[in-house]
Amino acid sequence: MRVVLKLGTSVLTAGTDRLHRPRLVELTRQISALRAAGHTVVLVSSGAVLAGWETLDFPPRTRTLAEKQLLAAVGQGTLMHTYAMLAELYGIRVAQVLLTADDFRDRTRYLNARTTLLGCLERGVLPIINENDAVAVEQIKVGDNDTLSAFVANMLEADLLVILTDAPGLYTADPRLNPQATLIPEVARIDADIWALAGGAGTHRGTGGMYTKIQAAEIATRAGTPVVIAPGDAPDVFVRAVQGESLGTRFQASGSRLEARKRWILAEIAPGRLLLDDGAAQALRGQGSLLPAGVRGVEGQFERGHTVRLLAPDGAEVGRGLARYRADDLRRVQGHHSRDIAALLGYDYGPEVVHRDDLILL
């Protein structure tokens, strides 16, 4: 399974004022165990602001955006250094990927971020993602890492999103305020009753409370990814959640991944058209990728990441897909073998013009 794991500040601190190293060791061990069992893990980790506060010896907090950005700039380094050291104990290499809302809105940036993350996975590198707090002003922020982790799960079409926090799961009311509250083990549909349980922002250290976790569950489940919200301090919690054990709260997927991808590809008016030769049209119909050798013509202007129409020699539209090269560059590589791309363009975004993962057959 491809799993996105989100760790909130509350988990990383384990109720203290600083990064709780033993907790981080334990979570890294679980990531390593799942990888050894053949799963792929992508980590979305909070904790930069907190780590910056710790690194600067706990200055008085003013809670302004400028202060948070400064603390995040300091703390992101501390956070990555800590992860890199711990991961190394298990022979795992890590990559830092800092994203903002624009990386999900802008198609070219989206595709670039996705290519980087998939590249990490191909090489067995563990990507560790956070919001790029140091530069992201309020208007361009995703705002909280629960939502960010759901966007990442969609981007990578993850099989599961696990959000670990300091609560045992979603409760019938905020358990801090209402001791009678009970755990909801399974949510089939996120309706008004579920939203009513969200409460306000969470702990003084965390950002979103349950509200953003339900929001994240909604985003991910609609796109076909089930979500588990579970307590970060339970023994082997991440391993057990991935193995399908009932713990915390599990949100069932409500949409399908294919539908979500279709919406993304079809959502754009596609002015660009690629004229294919017979072999290429057949390869696409057989669920293959489109290589430059099978492109006979390129019509219109489009950028990398934009949707293009794919036309067979008889003019029939075979499908639509995301172009991996911009129109002008495609004109230069059309009809050539993929191995010549780098020589022709001076760069190379991979052998495919349209990858089969980015393709909808009509």
Ligand X SMILES: N[C@@H](CCC(=O)OP(=O)(O)O)C(=O)O
Ligand Y SMILES: Nc1ncnc2c1ncn2[C@@H]1O[C@H](COP(=O)(O)OP(=O)(O)O)[C@@H](O)[C@H]1O
Q: Is 145 annotated as a binding residue?
A: yes
The 58-97 site mask, x for binding ligand X (CB under 6 A), equals --------------x-------------------------
- Partnered with residue 317 across adjacent β-strands are 311
Please give the Cα distance from 133 to 342 (Å, whole number): 35
48 binds, among ligand Y, ligand X, none (CB under 5 to 8 A by kind): ligand X
* Residue 208 touches ligand Y, criterion: CB under 6 A: yes
The 4-23 site mask, x for binding ligand Y (CB under 6 A), equals ----xxxx------------
* Residue 9 touches ligand X, criterion: CB under 6 A: yes
170 binds, among ligand X, ligand Y, none (CB under 5 to 8 A by kind): ligand Y
72 binds, among ligand Y, ligand X, none (CB under 5 to 8 A by kind): ligand X
Q: How far is CA 319 from CA 298, 307, 322, 358, in A?
A: 15, 10, 11, 10
* Residue 145 touches ligand X, criterion: CB under 6 A: yes
Q: Which of residues 184-223 bind ligand X (CB under 6 A)?
A: 206-208
CB 230 within 8 A of CB 241: yes
Q: Give the shortest CB-143-to-ligand Y separation in angstroms.
A: 12
Among 26, 54, 133, 159, indicate the residue that binds ligand X (CB under 6 A).
133
CB 240 within 8 A of CB 175: no
Region of 224 (left: φ > 0; alpha: ψ -120 to 50; beta: rest) is: left
Please give the Cα distance from 106 to 151 (Å, whole number): 13
* Residue 8 touches ligand X, criterion: CB under 6 A: yes
Q: Of the candidates 66, 132, 65, which has an alpha carbon nearest to the alpha carbon of residue 96?
A: 132
Please give the Cα distance from 190 to 215 (Å, whole number): 9
Q: Which amino acid is at 355?
A: H
Q: Of the candidates 42, 35, 41, 38, which has an alpha carbon nearest to the alpha carbon of residue 91?
A: 35
Among 207, 215, 289, 307, indicate the residue that binds ligand Y (CB under 6 A).
207
* Residue 232 touches ligand X, criterion: CB under 6 A: no
Q: Which residues contact 275 (CB under 8 A, 6 or more apart)?
A: 295, 296, 297, 298, 299, 311, 313
Where does this chain bind ligand Y (CB under 6 A)? 8-11, 165-167, 170-171, 173-176, 197, 199, 202-203, 206-210
Which residues are annotated as part of the binding site for ATP?
6, 165-166, 207-213
Which residues are annotated as part of the binding site?
6, 46, 133, 145, 165-166, 207-213
Where does this chain bind ligand X (CB under 6 A)? 8-10, 46-50, 72, 130-131, 133, 144-145, 206-208
